[in-house]
Amino acid sequence: MKLIITENYEEMSKIAASYFISEASKGYEKRVNFAITGGSTPKRMYEILEPIMKDNPIPYVHYYNFDEIPVKEEEGVTITSLRNYFFSPCKIDDKNIEIFSEKNYTTYDKKIKDDGGLDAIMIGLGPDGHFCGNLSGTFDTFDLGCRSYSTRLTKKLEDRIAFLCGGYDKMTNQTVTFGPTTVMNAKRIIMIVNGTKKAEILKKAIEGPIDVKVPSSILRLHPDFTIIADKEAASLLNK
């Protein structure tokens, strides 16, 4: 595991952008399969990437969303976020966007294998220590046979994300996600973390025991796992 601690969110975003470009730029010569994160943490990173990438298409990079909250009669929350923050501003061609959804999750791991496997995945850290949609409490034990799957939203999570779906009436009470095996099979994992609100859970994830109650703790077993965190998020780590 490699840990990079930055001065602030802006520096974290710049370094994350450099890692992003490092992975994507391999796509000038060969196919690169890159799963990327939506949400608020990468927003500034995508802003930094826009002037670099919008007029400089990288032909062989294929982008994957790694989880999804379906919305009735519309695209899901994650793919919409990625379109708004990255795909549209950076003029990513639709043929390079590999959409993961409730319609194809049962066969998606085979698709990834047929595509050549994931070269990299960039993720965030959830407040309960989750990665992708693998929430704390989902597993009794880490099942490394667990590939992409669907689960029902909890009432607490429904309340938290209803506004993202446009209201309760547009929610399907379902979510789909890459499972632990899907993520651990990626050649490289990059996690970005910012803010004091993530300090306690980051400490548990990288200094505590490997525990299903903190799902992201399993990522420490990956041979190429990098965390990019600002000082606020790293404030509780042992010196």
Known catalytic residues?
A: 67, 128, 130
Alpha carbon of residue 129 to chain centroid: 13
The residues, ordered by sequence, that sit 6+ positions from 7 with a Cβ below 8 Å of its Cβ are: 230, 231
Task: Judge contact between 116 and 26, C-beta under 8 A.
Answer: no
Structure token pair of residue 2: 């490699």
Torsion of CA 76, 41, 225, 20, to 10 degrees: 80
- Hey, is 179 helix, strand or coil? coil
Structure token pair of residue 25: 């730029």
Structure token pair of residue 1: 């595991």
Structure token pair of residue 108: 């998606």
Task: Judge contact between 217 and 129, C-beta under 8 A.
Answer: yes
Burial environment of residue 151 by CB neighbours within 10 A (0 to 12, 13 to 18, 19 or more): middle
